[in-house]
Structure 1
């Protein structure tokens, strides 16, 4: 999750995964952000998922 090369893929997953799977991944990103203080992916992922 901390590798910036995959940011675009994570954002694509927010829109393409089935909703339940995307919500589970959202929780993983939130936990990662809480542990590492790195919100660069989680914030955008949550915003993209909210639009669904």
Structure 2
């Protein structure tokens, strides 16, 4: 039974860590420029386009 309990605890820790990572990704953003600086696109951590210049 101990192995099962340890496995359950590990699963809970992993789930908690995944939630933290998802929350931190929501506040992250990335910008990339192309076309000799003519186009800049900014996306959030989930890949959603936030801005095109």
Structure-2-length-normalised TM-score: 0.37
Pick the structure with more strand per residue.
2
Q: Higher relative contact order by CA 8 Å / sep ≥ 6: 1 or 2?
A: 1
Which of 1 and 2 has greater Rg?
2
